[in-house]
Structure 1
Amino acid sequence: MKLSNLFLAATLALSLAPSVNAEPVGVDSLLNLVEQGQARDDKAFKARLNEFNQSRAQQEKMLADAKAERTRLENLSATKEGQFRDQETKIADAQERLTNRMGSLKELFGVLQQVAGDTKAVFEGSVVSSELPGREAFLTDLIQTAGSTSKLPSIEELEKLWFEMQREATYSGRISKYNAEVVLPSGETVARPVVRIGGFNAVSGGKYLNWDLETGRLVELDKQPGSRYTDPAAELEAATGSAMTGFWIDPSRGQLLKIMGQSPELGDRVDQGGVVGYIIIVLGAIGIALAIWRMIVLNLEAMRIRAQMNNESANENNALGRVMAVFNANNKADTETLELHLGEAIAAEIPRLTRAIGWIKIISVVAPLLGLLGTVTGMIDVFETMSLFGTGDPKLMAGGISQALVTTVLGLVAAIPCVFLHTLTNNRSRELMMILEERATGILARQSEQTQSSAKAA
């Protein structure tokens, strides 16, 4: 202890020593400084010792207080545990008495919970909820109450369940008109007048609506069915009073309408044929147009030929008249020469009567071949898709299969009327040519008779 004090005094003396340029301190002065430092250290040590003794007493007091508090809390906990066990016993006894008293009512409440759950599912999927929103909240509370053992459903709740079920059945047999929020295909929600047909369908603005279970709103179908179905919907909305009107009902509550919306229309089918399909359609249209044109021309020519058959003077506005004009120009020639002139005249009329008929036949042959070409290219696309993505997803192969089948159908659709029209026009032109040949043969026969009569008279 003394050595440490001496060391501290020496350190203090060095710290209090003057600078290098100051006068040196004597030994007596250094001893006095050491004694003063030791006195201060003793005083500080005693002060710290007194402070420690005082704080120790305080800490012992705090420890005693903490132990006393712990003892009190342990006693309180033991008391509470005893009360808890007593209450548990009482609750178990009360629950057993409640179960005994309920008897068959417990099964009734189980059935009530099941009925409420089924009714809630019906309400959520019913389009009537668009007119009567918020009915499911009551059923949710009733289900929780019926499944609880601490609270029983009241008579009022049972009567309300019966009322809601009866109201659903009543509204399902009505045609109602009311305002409701409708979600458009663009995503916008607007308030519109809605006509509900029982529990089957709802229409607004002449368009069918579908009840969305997730959002609980009426949603306008992205793709409406044809005018055959939407026109009666508009008539139904415009009907007043007891007026009767027809309407198409979807008994599947919207599922059939969705399927009809997904099925492609005629334009979609044609698009599936691709470039080959459009080429077939153009060729078919050209063939039909040529056939119609030739039928009109041949019918007009037939009318003029019939008029010429009743007239002895040659009119060169028809084929028969032009043949008769050739006879009149060569009536002095012999029979063989006249036959050659008439044959030449008839041969000159044949191209006019058979013009463009051969093109109709060519189109009737080419259209199925183009359909076969589209079938082959479509199947090539199918096999390429299968090689890249496998056969797991049929939708990936649907495009190629559609092209293969649609082009075949288009080829047959174009070829069948072209074959029929080619037969009609060809037969019509042959009839006219037979009339010309028949008339020419008659002319030659009369000319030959006149020649023979003149030779006998001579």
Structure 2
Amino acid sequence: MKLRSIFMAVAATVAISMPAQAADTLTVDDLLKLVEQGQARDDKSFKARMARFNASKAEQEKLVSNAQDERSRLEQLSASKEAQFQQNETAIAEAQERLTNRLGSLKELFGVLQQVAGDTKSVFEGSVVSSELPGREAFLTDLIQTAGSSSKLPSIQDLEKLWFEMQREATYSGRISRYNAEVVMPSGETVEKTVVRVGGFNAVAAGNYLNWDLEAGRLVELDKQPGGRYNGPAAELESASGTELTGFWVDPSRGQLLKIMGQSPELGDRVDQGGVVGYIIMVLGAIGVLLAVWRMIVLYGEAGRIKAQMKSDNANENNALGRVMAVFNANKNADTETLELHLGEAIAAEIPRLTRAIGWIKIISVVAPLLGLLGTVTGMIDVFETMSLFGTGDPKLMAGGISQALVTTVLGLVAAIPCVFLHTLTNNRSRELMMILEERATGILARQAEQQQAKAA
């Protein structure tokens, strides 16, 4: 069965490889011949493959032999190199020991030199003098590496240059210099400006204080200047001649105090900390002051007109006393009691004109401190809420509420104090004018009563 299958497969293969017409006339003998021919071709191909394999095997054996020879040569070379390395290690150790013995106390000297160079480098990096003498740190960096190296020693010239740089730093620290340097503006732009340096403390340019940035190694203009009180002398120092004396504010902390002053809030920042309540207090205070000024102007003008009326017997109705006298002139023939009623009515009509808006000033002087207290309570509520959420570890989180609590109280007092003072002035002035009217009305009544008694007699 298996043989039959093989035969059918061979026959099918032969049939596929032959044309259709030849396959139809193929006999068994022809098929046997074809099989024999195929077997002969396969034997020939197999023998060719075996020959190539044997030739390749010989070549591979030759390559293996060459690799083994190369490995032996490299092993011998490695052994010789390892021996040479051991000899070099021993020679280096002996030379190092001889160098250490020869150095002796100089080794300690170079250690001290390395330390001094490191300290000097730190001083140079943080000194504003470096803006005038840039690049000094490179020499110190090389000197530190040289002093710490065992293969290269510092020279006499290096020691003399270190002494020179230290002496130059001390000399320049006691000098006021004018030079050009690059300044980083608050906007981030770098501009070359004429800089005036006062020793190792401060540097100014165009009337503004500069700060030496340690990381960037450049002069940086402060984002927030300390104010005209300090910037004014800085501008005068820049414009001063070589022999002219001028005052200048020196920061002994070399810029730290200027930074702190820049971080301190100004008046506008303080007001902003008061929040909405603070602005309401300010508006009310301004309204109270304006009302008081207006009433003082009106009352002083009225007082001048009343004084002029007191010198004249003719009633002028442009002032309160003139209008009261006009009422008297209109009721001269009335009896004393009736005239007294008319004059009282006229004075009562003048009181609202004299005391107009004065009550509002008093109300503002009372309400402003209460609003300040409201802002204080609100701010303390914010503080306690912050404490309940974040604890008391970071005081900056509580600064906003505390600032509002204190600022609103201050604003309330600032608004109330002048309002109380101005209310007292305007109220006293209006009462003086009312007393003048009452005094004049009493005098009119007295004269009227005397005239009536004289007529009756």
Query: Fold conserved (TM > 0.5)?
Result: yes
Q: Give me the whole-angstrom Cα distance separating, in 2, the residues matched to 1:277 and 1:31.
A: 120
Q: Distance in 2 between matches of 1:430 and 1:42?
A: 145
Who is 2:153 aligned against? 152
- The two structures have a TM-score, normalised by structure 2, of 0.85
Q: Structure 1 residues 56 and 356 mapped into 2: Cα distance closer, same or farther (>3 Å)?
A: closer
- Is the 1:209–1:220 contact (alpha carbons within 8 Å) kept by the matching residues of 2? yes
User: What's the CA shift for 1:192?
Assistant: 2.5
Q: Could you say which residue in structure 2 is the equivalent of 1:275?
A: 276
Overall identity of the aligned pairs, in %: 79
For the residue of structure 1 that corresponds to 2:248, the secondary structure is: coil
Does the Cα contact within 8 Å between 1:201 and 1:250 map onto a contact in 2? yes
The aligned amino acid for 1:106 is K
Q: Is the 8 A contact 1:382 1:400 kept in 2?
A: yes
Q: Secondary structure at the match of 1:241?
A: coil
Q: Report the equivalent of 1:3.
A: none
Distance change in 2, residues 1:89/1:442 (3 Å) = same
Match of 1:41 among 43, 56, 60: 43
Q: Distance in 2 between matches of 1:331 and 1:36?
A: 165
Match of 2:24 among 21, 25, 40: 21
> How far did 1:178 drift?
2.2
Equivalent residue for 1:339?
Answer: 340
Look up the match of 2:84: 83
Q: Secondary structure at the match of 1:191?
A: strand
Q: Residues 177 and 196 of structure 1 are in contact (CA less than 8 Å); yes or no, is this contact kept in structure 2? A: yes
Matched, 1:180 2:181: yes
Q: Tell me if structure 2 keeps the 8 A contact 1:13–1:33.
A: no
Deviation at 1:135, TM superposition (A): 1.3
1:122-157 CA deviation, whole Å, 9 max, x = no partner?
111122222222111111111111111121111111
SS in 1 for 2:174: coil
Q: What amino acid is aligned across from residue 228 of structure 2 in structure 1? A: S
Deviates most, 78-87 or 406-415? 78-87
Q: Distance in 1 between matches of 2:409 and 2:425?
A: 25
How far apart are 1:86 and its partner, in Å?
A: 2.3
Q: CA shift at 1:247, angstroms? A: 2.5
Alpha carbons of 1:66 and 1:443: their partners in 2 closer, same or farther (altered >3 Å)?
Answer: same
Question: Per the alignment, in what secondary structure is the counterpart of residue 187 of structure 1?
Answer: coil
Please state if 1:241 is matched with 2:242: yes
Q: Superposed, which structure 2 residues align to 1:298-447 within 5 Å?
A: 298-383=299-384, 393-447=394-448
Deviates more, 1:182-191 or 1:358-367: 182-191
DSSP-derived class of the 1:20 partner: helix
User: How far 1:421 sits from its partner (Å)?
Assistant: 0.7
In structure 2, runs of 5+ residues without a counterpart are: 1-5
Alignment check: 8 A CA contact 1:13 1:30 kept: no
Match of 1:94 in 2: 95
Distance 1:427 1:31, change over 3 A: closer
CA distance, structure 2, for counterparts of residue 237 and residue 92 of structure 1: 63
The count of residues paired between Structure 1 and Structure 2 equals 447
Provide the rounded CA distance (Å) in 2 between the counterparts of 1:448 and 1:36.
170
Match of 2:136 in 1: 135
What is the CA deviation profile of residues 9-54 of structure 1, one whole-angstrom value per residue up to 9, with x for unaligned ones?
x979985996522342539x95797499569837964x66666666
Alignment partners' CA distance in 2, 1:107 and 1:294: 87
Over 3 Å counting, the alpha-carbon distance change for 1:342 and 1:40 in structure 2 is closer
What does 1:207-222 align with in structure 2 at a 5 Å threshold? 207-222=208-223
Q: CA deviation at 1:426?
A: 0.9
Q: Which amino acid letter does the alignment assign opposite residue 195 of structure 2? A: V
